[in-house]
Amino acid sequence: MKYAYFPGCSLESTAWDFDRSARAVCRALEVELEEIPDWVCCGSTPAHTTSASLAVALPVLNLQKAREMGLPVMAACASCYARLRTANHTVRGDAEERARVERITQSPYDGSVDVRHVLDVLVNEVGVNEIRRRVERPLSGLRVACYYGCLLTRPPEVVAFDDPEHPTAMEELLSAAGAEPVEWPLKTECCGAALSMTGAPAVSRLGHKLLSMARQAGAECVAVACPLCQVNLDLRQSDARKAHGYFPETPALYVTQLLGLALGLSEQELGIGALTVGAGSLLAACHAGVAAEAGGAP
């Protein structure tokens, strides 16, 4: 299977490890990615808070390029995914906005290019059973809180590849990888998103709530699929602890990093070293447990 890959701005900069791990996992699972040539920013939060037309026109420019490639689109960033899907939804349902966007882009577009998130592709196209078959180093005993955040499952009429309140795609993938996803009540709560820059106290409070609850549920780490979620739970973690009380250091890894480790990819290939809260000792303990189990097998 082949997709027109839209990395977006975050994966070209602060979330380069998400980009690296997503590409590596797709390559290992024979999902071919061809980057959309000369892609432009999807607009993210700034566009849709300042100009409704710009918020649609920017993602449509990328969708038009993917149409020329004759491929469906795959995105990893939750914000990019949401903006691309929202643009399709708007173009299909609002004739006036569609005409306006076509004037801006100077090209017709009918919303027909399919947009998938990497989680959707892995679960519903590659398949959990196939992934389980390819696992080389199972994450046995690793207790993970799967965190989806705001954008991956809502609004359901736009994104619609998992349950909006109780999604399970990450749990299915990480269970196939040998990990133990924990049940916890905050997996679709907001982390503060872009308030990281303008409302740091809110991000600190929300991050503390999320991470301390994940720990209370028995998790040793958090799996994420959004660059904003990852930076707020990783880079801002020490601020949350200082402002609102102690909880143990809790690595926040991209789900593609955890899955890649289970598939036998190296930490360097997956960008594990980019984490602010290191996961080295946690992963070493996990791999030691696997080795001990293998050594004790009859």
- Asked whether the bond before 138 is cis by omega within 30 degrees of 0, the reply is no
Backbone angles phi, psi at 35, to 5 degrees: -65, 135
State how far the Cα of 91 lies from the Cα of 80, in Å rounded to an integer: 17
The total number of residues written for the chain in this structure: 298
In tens, the pLDDT along 20-71 reads 999 999 999 999 999 999 999 999 877 777 888 899 999 999 999 999 999 9
64, two tokens: 């038009």
State how far the Cα of 260 lies from the Cα of 76, in Å rounded to an integer: 15
In tens, the pLDDT along 261-285 reads 999 999 999 999 999 999 988 888 8
Backbone angles phi, psi at 33, to 5 degrees: -115, 130
Task: Confirm if 205 and 244 have CB atoms less than 8 A apart.
Answer: yes
In tens, the pLDDT along 135-151 reads 999 999 999 999 999 99
pLDDT for 289 equals: 59
- Dihedral over alpha carbons 206, 212, 217, 220 (to 10 degrees): 110
Backbone angles phi, psi at 186, to 5 degrees: -115, 20
State how far the Cα of 298 lies from the Cα of 296, in Å rounded to an integer: 6
State how far the Cα of 193 lies from the Cα of 191, in Å rounded to an integer: 6
Compute CA distances 168 → 32, 180, 193, whole Å: 25, 13, 22
Other Cβ atoms within 10 Å of 27 Cβ, number: 15
Domains of the chain in sequence order = 2-117 (1.20.1050.140), 138-295 (3.40.50.11810)
Residue with structure tokens 């997996």? 187
